[in-house]
Structure formats: structure tokens, C-alpha cells
């Protein structure tokens, strides 16, 4: 979907640029009108390309909370909940020894390698 939008955007931009540049410098009385149309089509194409990029944006990566038992080595990973912070005691007790458990870490799960060098 995003690729199709970008291809259309590129086509519109190229078409607009062609109309714009071929109408510049002509003695055609409609030259000015054509250059306006060219500019408009080009702007439309650029908007489409930008919109396509915007839609491809990935959702924020999921965050997980690591809970650890204070008495034994039991560890649990669950979805991050609002208000979670490191060393916060949780209401749930350890399923192994019934001791209290605390949050040991909060992590952002990255499913794909970082793409910060790509604009």
C-alpha cells in the first residue's frame, strides 16, 4: 500500500515537473497556466510521497517488565504496565515459594535492528 502511494507520488512529481519545465519560456499564452498546473501536480506528488512514508512508520516497540522473586531465583517477564518502575514491589507473590516479588527491570523489546541511519 505504501509503495503504491509512493510510486503514484513519484509519477505525479515527475509529470508536474515535466509540465512545469516544458511550459517555462514558451510563447504559449497558456504557459503560465500550465506552469501553475505543473506546480500543483508536483506538490500533490510530493504530498503523496510524504504521506506514504508517514503510513509506513512502525508502531512503538513493546515494553516488558521483568519481575524477580526476593527469595528464590524465580523470574517472570510480563507486559509493561503504567506505573511500573525498577525495585517496585508487586502485588503478586512468587508461585514457587510465595515470597514477595519486585520489579528488576523494564525493557524495550526490539524486534528488528535499529534503522536510525535511514531517514
Contact residues for Zn ion, defined by CB under 5 A? 69, 71-72, 74, 94, 96-97, 99
Whether the CB-CB separation of 86 and 103 falls below 8 Å is answered with: yes
Rounded least distance, CB 94 to Zn ion, Å: 3
Report how far residue 14's alpha carbon sits from residue 25's, in angstroms, rounded to the nearest whole number. 19
The residue (of 43 and 97) whose beta carbon lies closer to Zn ion is 97
For 46, other C-beta atoms within 10 Å of its C-beta total: 15
Rounded least distance, CB 99 to Zn ion, Å: 5
Element (H, E) at 81: none
The residue (of 50 and 99) whose beta carbon lies closer to Zn ion is 99
Rounded least distance, CB 61 to Zn ion, Å: 29
Report how far residue 67's alpha carbon sits from residue 104's, in angstroms, rounded to the nearest whole number. 5
Amino acid at each position: 500500500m505504501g509503495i503504491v502511494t509512493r510510486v503514484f507520488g513519484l509519477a505525479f512529481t515527475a509529470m508536474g515537473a515535466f509540465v512545469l519545465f516544458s511550459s517555462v519560456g514558451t510563447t504559449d499564452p497558456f504557459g503560465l497556466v500550465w506552469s501553475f498546473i505543473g506546480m500543483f501536480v508536483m506538490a500533490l506528488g510530493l504530498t503523496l510521497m510524504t504521506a506514504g512514508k508517514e503510513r509506513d512508520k512502525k508502531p512503538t516497540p513493546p515494553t516488558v517488565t521483568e519481575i524477580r522473586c526476593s527469595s528464590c531465583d524465580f523470574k517472570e517477564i510480563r507486559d509493561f504496565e503504567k506505573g511500573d518502575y525498577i525495585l517496585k514491589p508487586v502485588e503478586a507473590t512468587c508461585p514457587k515459594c510465595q515470597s514477595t516479588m519486585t520489579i528488576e527491570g523494564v525493557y524495550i523489546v526490539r524486534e528488528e535492528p535499529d534503522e536510525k541511519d535511514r531517514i
